[in-house]
Amino acid sequence: GESVGLHLPTLSVQEGDNSIINCAYSNSASDYFIWYKQESGKGPQFIIDIRSNMDKRQGQRVTVLLNKTVKHLSLQIAATQPGDSAVYFCAEKNYGQNFVFGPGTRLSVLP
């Protein structure tokens, strides 16, 4: 699979616990945000998105929170499962521009 940077932040959680992955974005004008999940050897996979006029959005087992005041985005995964192990990227987008990705966080789910 794809190798990752030596300094990639890592989050280790016990199976069944909740995970919170954080991301600081850079552009206060960004109006659309996505969380992507990347498993080894695969491309980034869309998880959940949120627009700047919202501060929370829920999906199946996942919740994204947006704090525009401090330019912070978080992804909460409920009842983390082994299949959730992957690298998670936040991405921000400004109207008419292209996605800017964060550095990624590796999530390891412990049995």
Partner 1 sequence: EAGVTQFPSHSVIEKGQTVTLRCDPISGHDNLYWYRRVMGKEIKFLLHFVKESKQDESGMPNNRFLAERTGGTYSTLKVQPAELEDSGVYFCASSQMDIGYGYTFGSGTRLTVV
Nearest to partner 1 of 34, 77 (CB atom): 34
- C-alpha to C-alpha distance for 55 and 104, rounded to whole angstroms: 21
> Residue 24: enclosing H or E segment and its boundaries?
strand 19-24
- Of 10-18, 31-39, 63-71, 73-81, which segment contacts partner 1 by CB under 8 A? 31-39
Whether the Cβ atoms of residue 41 and residue 2 lie closer than 8 Å to each other: yes
Closest approach, Cβ 16 to partner 1, in A, equals 28
Instruction: Tell me the two tokens of residue 46.
Output: 């869309």
Of 22, 32, 63, 78, the residue at the interface with partner 1 (CB under 8 A) is: 32
- C-alpha to C-alpha distance for 9 and 42, rounded to whole angstroms: 19
Report if residue 44 touches partner 1, rule: CB under 8 A: yes
Report if residue 29 touches partner 1, rule: CB under 8 A: no
- C-alpha to C-alpha distance for 65 and 42, rounded to whole angstroms: 26
Report if residue 108 touches partner 1, rule: CB under 8 A: no
Rounded CA Rg of the chain:
14
Binding to partner 1 in span 61-100, by CB under 8 A = 89, 91, 95-96, 98-100
Which residue ranges make up the site for partner 1 (CB under 8 A)?
2-6, 8, 32, 34, 36, 41-46, 49, 51, 89, 91, 95-96, 98-104
